[in-house]
């Protein structure tokens, strides 16, 4: 059962599909070795990254993530300050401590292989792990990182369309916008209330609320860190962090009445979060790491400038955003390797626009309209990160998406009727457009800005 809060995961940057997913997969593999009681027999371990993971894996921190995962670290709890130190240690010692329990020789140039020209047939983000006892294979598994930090194995990928099917019976199941908005209308529920009712089959309302507040708090902290740090981001591009300078220039005390400046400030918040993401900091996938800044940028704008902001309203914001994200997960994809940046920034903008419309008092029609407008004008957005780093265009793109979401919410609030294009129409179109898009525009860094901007 996929829930609204599953669209958000607190974890390390810079990429949910290329950092968080591979880190979870490699951790899962060593945990499996442990449960099967064979971890102590391992004399050699080989990790293979295929397709998009290999092509942009260095810039997206995939190699570092795999090394941390094999060492027993989880993206949510890993200390960002120790993340790179552990990698340096493994490189220096030429040894890895599997699950922090069993040391084996490990040379990343021979034991962690990047297959840049080979794509596994099932998905562009494939990886495999093989554990040996001398020449005998003890265990071999393939995993796929399918976006937003979600991973599936060999068997699960075969049933991917059913993977989010109802394994738990919920009172208000939905997979499309028509179903979600129809159920809300019929029962007189807000979107937040409907997804909460669904969650009550597996947890208490109090637990669910605590989880929602934890996500909101993590987003808020990532904004505060993002706007307070200066300097350069890691990587060959030598990108200077801008959020702190923008925030200071905007003279925060004097802009309360100017929507224009408030939008600029929301851009600074979003940019700050994605600078944190690029620096291997802690952020919340929303719905991915590359797009982690858009929703917190808009949320922080609402916290500071919204009227009568309450904890309930913040929870409504995050649950509405999550429910809209679920529609894309069900009906299309949130993986840039599958559908380009439409699936990251496009979806984040759609989620943020709908969430802001909801907490500003929008009707169901207006919320659906905001979600639809945001994606309609993100159709065709390619993924072409320069140097394979989640920096250019990613960071600024979050700022622009946050500002757009604020405008879109305000536009939707002025209109009372549904337009000609439904949210489901646009979700379907986004998927088709993504499938038609050339592979070089789908998180491979082989096209677009990635080849036209000199990286030196």
Site residues (CB under 6 A) for ligand SF4?
290-291, 336, 341, 344-345, 383, 385, 390, 393-394, 397, 443
Minimum distance, C-beta of residue 13 to ligand SF4, in the bound complex (Å) = 11
Closest by CA position to 246, among listed 219, 280, 218, 275: 275
Q: Which of 223/345 has CB closer to ligand SF4?
A: 345
334/368 with CB nearer ligand SF4: 334
For the CB of residue 340, give the shortest distance to ligand SF4 in the complex, in Å: 7
Nearer CB in complex with ligand SF4: 26/391: 391
C-alpha 68/C-alpha 281 separation (Å) is 15
Least distance in angstroms from the C-beta of 108 to ligand SF4? 23
Q: Which residue is nearest to ligand SF4 (CB)?
A: 290
Distances (CA, A) of 442 to 171, 401, 436: 37, 19, 11
Which pair of tokens denotes residue 295?
């929703």
Name the burial class of residue 153, with classes exposed (0-12), middle (13-18) and buried (19+) by CB atoms within 10 angstroms of its CB. middle
C-beta of residue 252 within 8 angstroms of C-beta of residue 384: no
Tokens 């075969």 belong to 158
Roughly what angle, to the nearest 10 degrees, separates helices 259-278 and 394-413?
Answer: 140
**Shortest gap between Cβ of 257 and ligand SF4 (angstroms)?**
33
Least spacing, CB of residue 290 vs ligand SF4, in Å: 3
What's the start-to-end Cα distance of the chain, in Å? 46
* Beta carbon nearer to ligand SF4, 52 or 320: 52
Q: Which is nearer to ligand SF4, 99 or 390 (CB)?
A: 390
Instruction: Give CA 363 to chain center in angstroms.
Output: 28
Q: How far is the CB of 59 from ligand SF4 (least distance, A)?
A: 9
Question: Which CB, 207 or 432, lies closer to ligand SF4?
Answer: 432
Mode of pairing for the β-strands spanning 9-12 and 282-285: antiparallel
Residue 371 C-beta: closest distance to ligand SF4, Å: 19
Give the C-alpha separation, 15 to 341, whole Å: 13
Nearer to ligand SF4, 334 or 406 (CB): 334
């Amino acid at each position: 059962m996929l829930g609204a809060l599953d669209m958000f995961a607190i974890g390390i940057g810079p990429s949910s599909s290329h950092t968080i997913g591979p880190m979870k997969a490699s951790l899962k593999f060593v945990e499996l070795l442990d449960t099967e009681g064979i971890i102590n027999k391992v004399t050699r371990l080989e990790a293979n990254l295929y397709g998009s993971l290999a092509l942009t894996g260095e810039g997206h921190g995939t190699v570092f993530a795999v090394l941390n995962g094999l060492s027993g670290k989880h993206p949510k709890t890993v200390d960002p300050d120790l993340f790179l130190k552990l990698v340096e240690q493994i490189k220096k010692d030429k040894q890895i401590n599997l699950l922090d329990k069993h040391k084996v020789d490990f040379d990343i140039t021979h034991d962690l292989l990047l297959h840049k020209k080979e794509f596994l047939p099932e998905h562009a983000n494939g990886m495999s792990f093989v554990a040996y006892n001398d020449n005998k294979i003890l265990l071999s598994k393939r995993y796929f990182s399918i976006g937003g930090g979600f991973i599936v194995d060999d068997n699960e990928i075969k049933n991917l369309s059913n993977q989010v099917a109802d394994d738990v019976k919920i009172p208000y199941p939905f997979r499309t916008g028509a179903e979600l908005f129809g159920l809300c209308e019929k029962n007189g529920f807000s979107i937040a209330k409907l997804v909460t009712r669904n969650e009550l089959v597996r947890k208490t309302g109090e637990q669910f609320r605590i989880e929602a507040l934890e996500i909101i708090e993590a987003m808020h902290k990532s904004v505060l860190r993002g706007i307070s740090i200066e300097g350069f981001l890691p990587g060959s591009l030598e990108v200077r962090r801008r959020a702190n300078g923008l925030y200071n220039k905007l003279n925060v005390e004097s802009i309360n009445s100017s929507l224009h400046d408030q939008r600029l400030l929301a851009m600074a918040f979003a940019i700050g979060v994605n600078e944190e993401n690029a620096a291997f900091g802690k952020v919340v996938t929303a719905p991915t790491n590359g797009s982690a800044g858009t929703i917190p940028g808009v949320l922080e704008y609402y916290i500071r400038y919204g009227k009568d902001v309450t904890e309930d309203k913040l929870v409504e914001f995050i649950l509405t955003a999550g429910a809209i994200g679920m529609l894309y997960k069900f009906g299309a994809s949130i993986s840039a390797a599958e559908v380009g940046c439409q699936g990251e920034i496009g979806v984040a903008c759609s989620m943020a626009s709908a969430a802001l419309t909801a907490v500003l008092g929008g009707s169901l029609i207006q919320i659906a309209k905001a979600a639809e407008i945001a994606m309609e004008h993100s159709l065709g957005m390619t993924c072409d990160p320069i140097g394979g780093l989640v920096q250019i265009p990613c960071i600024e793109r979050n700022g622009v998406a946050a500002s757009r979401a604020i405008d879109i919410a305000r536009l939707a609030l002025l209109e009372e009727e549904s337009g000609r294009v439904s949210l489901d129409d646009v979700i379907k179109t986004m998927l088709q457009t993504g499938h038609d898009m050339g592979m070089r525009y789908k998180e491979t860094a082989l096209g677009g800005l990635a080849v036209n901007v000199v990286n030196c």
